[in-house]
Amino acid sequence: MEVRVRLSDAHNTIKEYENLGYRFIGSRQDIEYVNLFFEPKENNVTDIKFNIGDFIENRDGRIGYISDICHCDECKKRGFFEPTIQYSDGTSDYISNYSVKYVSKDYKQIGTQKFDNDYYEKEIERLKHQLEMEKSKSAYWKMKANGEEPVLMGTRERMIHILR
């Protein structure tokens, strides 16, 4: 697994991932950023630990605990024992061998394991930004096509950047 962070965050990131059960195996650095490489300590579906009674908070802020862990033959075959989650609002859910791959994005905390999961928020921000760029570009070319001199919304430098 590869994680890209600012140089100044490298030390803390390595610590965080080691706390989550990953082993730091190397890095590649450029001017401002460094790519950190990790591998799971155990070769299993996941290295995240699930215990009955573990506190759970999902990324929407719902709170509950692990009420059961399945040990049926199907789970054994898949190599992952499915935890059942009982939420405080009375609903329940479970983590399958498929959804466990997204645990660090779907949950804020499981037991003592905390996850940085503003992944979706970051992705949405990136897409919004991309959409704005596309809009600016098409507005510019439309005006050009109509023989108008486009009035730039930002600085000329920004427009040049957009058109690149």
Residues in contact with Zn ion by CB under 5 A are 70, 72, 75
Tokens representing 132 are 């704005």
Q: Minimum distance between the CB of residue 45 and Zn ion, rounded to whole angstroms?
A: 13
The minimum distance between CB 51 and Zn ion, in angstroms, equals 16
Burial class (CB in 10 A: 0-12, 13-18, 19+), 24: middle
**Residues in Cβ contact with 152 at an 8 Å cutoff, skipping those fewer than 6 apart:** 158, 159
Measured from the CB atom, is 35 or 67 closer to Zn ion? 67
- Site of tokens 């949405």: 124
Cβ contact 36:6 at 8 Å: no
Separation CA 63–CA 147 (nearest Å) = 59
CA–CA distance, 12 with 7 (Å, rounded to integer)? 10
In whole angstroms, how close is the CB of 92 to Zn ion at the nearest point? 15
Question: Based on CB atoms, which residue is closest to Zn ion, 35 or 96?
Answer: 96
Between 49 and 76, name the residue whose CB sits nearer to Zn ion: 76
In the bound state with Zn ion, the residue whose beta carbon lies nearer, of 45 and 75, is 75
- Least distance to Zn ion from the beta carbon of 80, Å? 9
